[in-house]
Amino acid sequence: MATIKFQGKPLRTNGELPLVGGKAPAFRLTNVKLQDVGLSDFAGKRKVLNIVPSLDTPTCQTSTRKFNEQAAKLPDAVVLVVSADLPFAQARFCETEGIKNVIALSSFRSDFARDYGVMLLDGVLAGLTARAVVVLDEQDHVLYAEFTPELANEPDYAAALAALSQA
C-alpha cells in the first residue's frame, strides 16, 4: 500500500505500482467509442500510461496536454491516459483541447485501478485513481513507475520520457 498526499493530507492506495523490471498486468479498458481495449492491443509498441484521477481537474488536463505534445515525437510509442471518467467526457475533453496524440481510456468498468495499485482508499476522492505514470517496453516490462507524492502535482515528465527513450 502506497501513501501519497492530497493538499497535504495522507491518502492510501490499495497497493503499489507494478515493479520496474517486472511484467505489467494485463488490462481491459474502454475507449471513447465504448470499445474494450487491452494492453495486448498495443503489442510491439512502447507505452506510457498516464494515470490520472479525472480529466475534469486542471492537473490531469495539464499532464494530458503535455504528454500529447511529446507523443507526436515518440516513434513506435503510444501514450494512454487512463481515468475513471466516462468515455463521453474523455472524448469531449480531447476534442475540445485538440488532443490527437494520446489515447484516452476509461477504467469505469474494469479492475485496472485495483490491479495497478492506484485506487485511492481515503478522502473525498476515494475510488478514483492516484496520479501515476508507468512506462512499458514493447514486451510490457515496466521501465519506470512513479506515484506523484502530492496528488495535485504533475508527474516527472522528463524521467518518464527518458525511460521511454532508453527502451
pLDDT per position as a tens digit, 65-119? 898 888 778 888 999 999 999 999 999 999 999 989 899 999 999 999 999 999 9
- Split at pLDDT 50, 70, 90, the class of 167 is low
Active site residue 60: yes
pLDDT in tens, 15-36: 999 999 999 999 999 999 999 9
Q: What does the pLDDT average to over 130-135? A: 96
Residue 3 has pLDDT above 90, yes or no: no
Distance in Å from the first CA to the final CA of the chain: 28
Comparing 69 with 14, which gets the higher pLDDT?
14
Q: Which of 17, 24, 55, 60 is catalytic?
A: 60
User: What grid cell was written down for 66?
Assistant: 503535455
Fold of 3-165: Glutaredoxin (3.40.30)
- Domain range annotation of the chain: 3-165
Contact 11, 130 (CB under 8 A): yes
Q: Check residue 17 and give its pLDDT.
A: 97
Q: What is the pLDDT of residue 153?
A: 94
Neighbours of 146 (CB within 10 A): 17
Distance CA 32, CA 35 (A): 7
> Contact at 8 Å (CB) between 46 and 164?
yes
Backbone angles phi, psi at 81, to 5 degrees: -100, 125
* pTM (two decimals): 0.94
Main-chain dihedrals φ then ψ at residue 67, nearest 5 degrees: -70, -30
pLDDT score, position 40: 96
